[in-house]
Structure 1
């Protein structure tokens, strides 16, 4: 059961009144400029290039997918579709909005956008919220999901139908605030905490080794025991002669000079990088080759390379966004009329020219593509007559396979003269 606006306000007031004497639906003070990633989680995002690369890949992929409102496979242009496809709020384009929302989901485990209404209670914008200030809660009497937001002057409560919420897999245990089981996503950064700490310690140890490593380049061996003053004199003479002669050294009798061979970077650091890359890819449900690991992978085309990424990684994320937008930006009557938001993932699966050409050729000859539809996919203008479907004449209807056989037999019969008996 979905609550209407009056019921939402009434329940919200009852919840707030139990905890605060002065509160309300005043959201103006929430949106002062601030760095939403100014936290421990954000610091890891800014200092670990593997996690940064994974989140960048996911957020850019989601933001690059065309998002439109459809009705029976036909794009619909109205106020809500224009808002979501062009400018979800006065400060952002659709690309920036989706990308930032996905970055928050992949960093904090949850991404929130508040629905803002005009005077006619029509959605006019979607404003992003700091995930660290939002907590899902369940109202005791109605069991409706609400979101407790830490505002500047207190806590505010927003009904779930007024909040766009995308998340990673949800917490399955008892949470601190009420009982929000299944409503708050787990942060991938927290899952990777041990991996990140181990990677950081190995890198720090390697850098410390480089900084504190012995800077000598040669071992100078003498056959006799020398006093401290004599050693200093010989060492200074060695340095001066080496510098004055462009690096050329004369080895005298009784003296042995051996260069010191050392590795600048421990090869184990690269093994740690592979482990980190593999674990980050696993947590974000990505193919490891999408993070730069090409060893052991073989793909015959770009289409195959992206197929695994789209099917295994993007489709569940895309489905979550679509259902969230459909449920909270469309009314029940609009959904019953066939309206639905849809991301076009085919943009990532177009393949190379040869593969696309064969795909389009089969589609047109088999009657499930019109030439103008193919031209639209290739961003070419339509042509007159290109809106028709075509079928190959060598194909027979599936419900009458004998008709073509009769026509072929009649066509192949030998011709006879009119007067022959």
Structure 2
């Protein structure tokens, strides 16, 4: 990318210094929930359930193979391996990221901020590089002539107005067709409640967890004795490092156990409820983040299928559509398309793959070499034959003989 520093079309455009107000907005990039917790990307990702959901979705999209295909004139399609866009989306979008890392980031930005932006480095009319931009540094604007432009603030503090043909923009669900909506803005209260409950629990453990009891005496203690007893007790028994140590009581002090209160029980229920809300918000089944309260051997398979259709497919469909309209020229857009191989998610289930391949070969949809290719194995001689079951006849004759007779 050294040549990019000397040849950069952005340098030839007028740039304005970013004002203090815009800088403050970019640094904050968050807001305070009613619970009093400041919600931004950092605090949200420190919430275990949300981080787990984001990690599951991002990594699942990142591990899906994606290829560019060219449609045949009649039926079918072939992988367009020689096309430069195929290399960008399947192997190396830029000099410092792999395709897997790039699509992981894309998914994470879409969930967090509702938008993923990347600057398209175009050379001789072709996109040769995709450089991701921070969602907080890009502001899409619709002009009076209905053209979309992007106000981009770069790391050096300079601002440029870029056209739609210079930005690769993948939106999540949108309310205005310009910007997508993200969890940080529209799930702020749910995240704030979960983070507040998590911090409450952490503070309890700092003080030795929920007090299992209290020291009681019938005597009236002077301030000096009271302070000495309190300080000594805290020194010897407060915190996790001092748990389960033997306590020595003096002066008629007695230990009175304290059971869990309704408030404590409601706190635990609230944490479970909030975790499930987070899962529902991003359509991740709870069992994917190790919440197995209501999962059984009978329903967990169906939950996995719903996860693919309801959570992953909407994300990859948005990316596929944006690749077609944003990275391909008008001529290639007509007969080229990008496709994520969602069936790759079956790789973890050997029995499901075996049965699927068997059925597809049996009906003549796959050849043995097609199966070997899907398993990243080399083809074998004679493996390009497509079988037709002997019982699949037309009027008692094999299909090919009946077709010859009709000619």
- Structure 1 residues 210 and 147, CA, compared in 2 at 3 Å: closer, same or farther? same
- Would you say 1:106 and 2:111 are equivalent positions? yes
Check whether the contact 1:117–1:123 (CA below 8 A) recurs between aligned residues.
Answer: yes
Aligned residue number for residue 127 of structure 1: 131
Once residues 86 and 306 of structure 1 are traced to their aligned partners in structure 2, the CA distance between those partners, rounded to angstroms, is 28
- Structure 1 residues 216 and 76, CA, compared in 2 at 3 Å: closer, same or farther? closer
Q: 2:185 aligns with which of 185, 190, 195?
A: 190
Check whether the contact 2:285–2:304 (CA below 8 A) recurs between aligned residues.
Answer: no
Aligned residue number for residue 242 of structure 2: none
- Structure 1 residues 303 and 372, CA, compared in 2 at 3 Å: closer, same or farther? farther
- Would you say 1:75 and 2:79 are equivalent positions? yes
Unaligned segments of structure 2, at least 5 residues? 1-9, 19-25, 31-39, 72-76, 234-244, 399-407
Once residues 249 and 91 of structure 1 are traced to their aligned partners in structure 2, the CA distance between those partners, rounded to angstroms, is 62
Within 5 A, what are the aligned runs for 1:303-342? 304-336=302-334, 338-342=335-339
| Deviation digits for residues 281-340 of structure 1 (CA, Å, limit 9, x no counterpart) | 22213223323221222344975443111101111111110010111111221133x221
1:186 Cα offset (Å)? 1.3
Aligned residue number for residue 3 of structure 2: none
Check whether the contact 2:121–2:129 (CA below 8 A) recurs between aligned residues.
Answer: yes
| Deviation digits for residues 108-131 of structure 1 (CA, Å, limit 9, x no counterpart) | 11110110122x232110111111
Q: 2:195 aligns with which of 192, 197, 200?
A: 200
| TM-score, normalised relative to structure 1 | 0.72
Once residues 325 and 250 of structure 1 are traced to their aligned partners in structure 2, the CA distance between those partners, rounded to angstroms, is 72
- Structure 1 residues 340 and 303, CA, compared in 2 at 3 Å: closer, same or farther? farther
- Would you say 1:140 and 2:135 are equivalent positions? no
Aligned residue number for residue 94 of structure 1: 99
Aligned residue number for residue 372 of structure 1: 369
SS at match of 2:264: coil
Q: 1:164 aligns with which of 146, 163, 168?
A: 168
SS at match of 1:272: helix
Check whether the contact 2:151–2:159 (CA below 8 A) recurs between aligned residues.
Answer: yes
- Structure 1 residues 350 and 26, CA, compared in 2 at 3 Å: closer, same or farther? farther
SS at match of 1:267: helix
Please identify the structure whose Cα radius of gyration is greater: 1
Within 5 A, what are the aligned runs for 1:201-220? 201-211=196-206, 219=215
Within 5 A, what are the aligned runs for 1:285-296? 285-296=283-294
Once residues 94 and 149 of structure 2 are traced to their aligned partners in structure 1, the CA distance between those partners, rounded to angstroms, is 23
1:39 Cα offset (Å)? 4.6
Aligned residue number for residue 150 of structure 1: 153
